[in-house]
Amino acid sequence: MKDILFQPITLNGLIVKNRIYLPAMHLGMAHDFEVTDQIVDFYALRAKGGAGLICAGFATVDELSGNTQNIGAHDDRFIPGLQKLAAAIQAAGSTACLQINHAGRYNYSFFTNGKQPVAPSAVASRMTGETPKEMTAEEIHETVNAFASAAARAKKAGFDAVEVLSGTGYLISEFLSPLTNQRTDEYGGSFKNRMRFGIEVMEAVREAVGKQFPLIVRMNGNDFMPGGNSRQELKEYAVVMASGLADALCINVGWHEARVPQIVTCVPRGTFAYLARGIREKVSIPVIASHRINDPETARELIGNAMCDMVAMGRSLIADPMLPEKARQGRENEIVHCIGCAQGCFDNLFKLKHVECLCNPLAGYENRIRESRTAHPKKVMVIGGGAAGMTAALAAHDKGHSVSLYEKTGCLGGQLFLAAAPPGREEFAQFAGDLARQVRLRNIPVFLNQSVDEALVQAEKPDHIILATGSSPFIPELPGMDLPHVVSASDVLENKVVTGTRVAIIGGGAVGVETALFLSEKGTLSAAMVKFLLVNRAESFETLYEMATKGSKTILLIEMLDKIGKDIGKSTKWGMMQDLSRFGIKTLSKTKVIQIVPDGLEVEQDGQVQQIIADTIVVAAGSKSNTGLSAGIKKTGITCDIIGDAKKVATALDAVHSGYRAGIAIE
C-alpha cells in the first residue's frame, strides 16, 4: 500500500510531489528587505530534505506592511533576490511558493521610520502597544493594488504559487474581525462588508497572475479572540475564497494576541486539525492543516482520516530539514522532532535575532554544513551525556574525530528529563531520546554509570576533553534547611518525594514555576478521565472544568525578585503565568525567606515579617555549575572545553549550541 503522505496532489495544474507543506515563517534573515544567502541556504536545505511545497515569507506588499527583516516584494528591485530564492528551492526538488502579507496594526512604528501603522480602524494593539491610523478609502484601494503588484513580482521571479495571508491578526483579518473593524462605510458593519477587503485583494491578485496560476489563502479556522470572528463566519469566508479565488486553503489558528497557546509544547500534536476538517467539509479545494504536526505518523493520520488534504510542517522542518526524506525512506526513527519549546524560532524574533533551534544547532547556519572534515582526527573524551554533551559528541564525530561519551547515570538525557516532568512539557523527553538515538546511529561508544576522575582520564589519554557535567541545585544557606519537610525541586519533579497538602516553593524562576505547575496537577482529572465523563454526560462542563484545574494541594510560590518567571522565554511565559492563575497557585514576589521552621517558614515582605504554614518546603533557588572535575583535568595538561551548564547555567538552547560549537571547533 502506498504511503498516503507521499501521494502527489494538484493545485490548479501544479503537481506537488507529496502532501508536506512548509508554511511561511518569519525567519528574521532578510537584510533591508533583500533575500540573503542565509535565506536561500535555509530553504534550499528544506527542499533537499523532501518537502513537497515550500512557502517562503512573509513578503511585504508595501513599506508599511512589514520590517526590513522581512523578504521584500513591494518593489521591482527585489525581483533578482526572489528569483534566486525560487530557483534554489526548485533546483533542490520542491515547488516554490511566496507568501505575501500586510501586518496592519501588528507592525511597529520603529520599523517604519516612525510612520504610524495602518489598520481598518484606530484600535490599539495589545501586542505592540500602539494605536494604528485608520485607513482611508484611497489607502485601501492602494493596498489592494499593492497586493496584486507583489503577487505579480512573485510570479515574474519564477515562483510556482503565491499565498495570501488572511489570518493571524494581520491586516486582512483585521478587516474581517469586528474587534478591529469599526468602520461605517462599505468595508465595515456586516460580515459581508468586512469580507470585502479580503475579497478585493484576492480578485486583484488573481487578475495580476492569471487564472492558471496557483493561489493559496492562509486563513484562520478560529481567531480565539473573544468577541471576534466566529468559526461559522470563518467557514463562510472560506467558502467565498474557494469559489474561484483560491486554489487551496491553509488553515491557521489564533491571533498573536490570543490567550490560547498555539505552537508551544503544551499543545498536543495535531490538536487544531479539527478546524481544517470543519472547513474541508464546506469546500471542494484542497485544505491544509497546520500547527504542532511534528511527526509523519500524525500527518498520515490527519490526511487518512479526512481531516485535511495536506499538512503544514513548519517548525518540524526547522528542527529536522530531512524529515520528509527520512519518512519516505522508512527511516523515521532517525527524525529529530520539534518539541515546541519556541526558544529559538519565536523567542529570538522578539530579540530581533534570526531564527535558531534548540533541537538543531544548524538552523539559521546552514552554510556550516559545508565545513570540511578534519585532516587530523583526534581522540575526544566527552564527559556528561546531557543535551550539551551529546550534541558535542555528535559534532565532533561528524568532524571526523574518534569520540567516546561518558555519563555517570544509567541513561543519556540529563536535565532534559527534568524539563519534561511538568504538565505539557513531555516533548523534552522526546528530544532526549532523539539525541541518544543519533549517538547510537553513529556508533559513538557510550559508557553509562561511569564516573570520570583524573585516573580514568590519565588511563584513556584523550587528545581533547569536553566537560559537560551540567549543574546541580543551588541550596541557599538558610536556618532550618536540614528539617525533614524540606525537599529539592529536582526530587519533586523526579517523583522521589511525597509532598504534603500545603506546599511552599522557594524560588519563582523557571524551575519554581514548572514545579508549581507539576504539583498543581496532583488530584486533577486527566485528559482521558475528562473525555470519559464528558462523553457519558456524567458531570456538567463547569464541574469537569473545575475538577480538571483544581488539584488537591495548596501551593505558594515565593520569589525575591519583583516578578515571577523572569528567566522564562516570552513565547511560553504568558501561558505558564496564565496557568498559575488558572490552577489557583498563589505567588509572593519581592519576598525574602528568613528561615524555615518546623511548621512552615518565615518571610519578609515590605519590611514586615510573617509566618507561612506549610507541610512541605520545596527549594527551587536555581542551579550551580558542576566544575569539580575541571581542576583535575587541568593538571593533566589536556586541552579541555567546558560547555553547557557546567560553564554557565542557562537554557537548553544555549547548552545545545555551546555543545555544537565545541565539537565542531576541534581541529
146-157 tens-digit pLDDT: 999 999 999 999
Average pLDDT over every residue of 424-447: 97
Nearest partner of 66 among 27, 112, 97, judged by Cα: 112
Comma-separated ranges of CATH 3.40.50.720 domains in the chain: 373-472+625-665
Residue 135 and residue 104: Cα distance in Å, rounded?
A: 10
pLDDT band at residue 368 using 50, 70 and 90 as cut-offs: confident
Q: Is the pLDDT of residue 54 over 80?
A: yes
DSSP-based helix, strand, coil % in the chain, nearest 5: 35, 20, 45
Q: Which CATH superfamily is domain 478-621 in?
A: FAD/NAD(P)-binding domain (3.50.50.60)
Residue 377 and residue 464: Cα distance in Å, rounded?
A: 11
**pLDDT tens-place string over residues 567-615:** 999 999 999 999 999 999 999 999 999 999 999 999 999 999 999 999 9
Q: Is the pLDDT of residue 164 over 90?
A: yes
Range among 259-268, 323-332, 371-380 with highest mean pLDDT value? 323-332
Say what the pLDDT of residue 63 is: 94
Average pLDDT over every residue of 114-134: 95
Say what the pLDDT of residue 334 is: 98
pLDDT band at residue 666 using 50, 70 and 90 as cut-offs: very high
Say what the pLDDT of residue 110 is: 87
Residue 617 and residue 478: Cα distance in Å, rounded?
A: 12
Nearest partner of 152 among 74, 208, 215, 212, judged by Cα: 208
Say what the pLDDT of residue 112 is: 87
pLDDT band at residue 94 using 50, 70 and 90 as cut-offs: very high
Q: Does residue 111 have a cis peptide bond before it, meaning omega lies within 30 degrees of 0?
A: no
Say what the pLDDT of residue 402 is: 98
Comma-separated ranges of CATH 3.20.20.70 domains in the chain: 4-367
Comma-separated ranges of CATH 3.50.50.60 domains in the chain: 478-621
Q: In this prediction, what percent of the chain has a pLDDT beyond 90?
A: 97
Q: Is the pLDDT of residue 369 over 90?
A: no
Average pLDDT over every residue of 507-532: 97
Crossing angle of the two packed helices 652-665 and 387-399, in degrees rounded to 10: 30
Q: In this prediction, what percent of the chain has a pLDDT beyond 70?
A: 100
**pLDDT tens-place string over residues 241-269:** 999 999 999 999 999 999 999 999 999 99
H helical segments located in 76-217: 79-91, 137-156, 171-176, 191-194, 196-209
**pLDDT tens-place string over residues 472-515:** 999 999 999 999 999 999 999 999 999 999 999 999 999 999 99
Q: Which listed CATH number (3.30.1330.10, 2.60.40.10, 3.20.20.70, 2.40.160.20) goes with 4-367? A: 3.20.20.70
H helical segments located in 75-117: 79-91
Per CATH, which fold does 373-472+625-665 belong to?
Rossmann fold (3.40.50)
Mean pLDDT of the chain: 96
Q: Is the pLDDT of residue 526 over 80?
A: yes
Q: Is the pLDDT of residue 33 over 80?
A: yes
Residue 217 and residue 270: Cα distance in Å, rounded?
A: 20
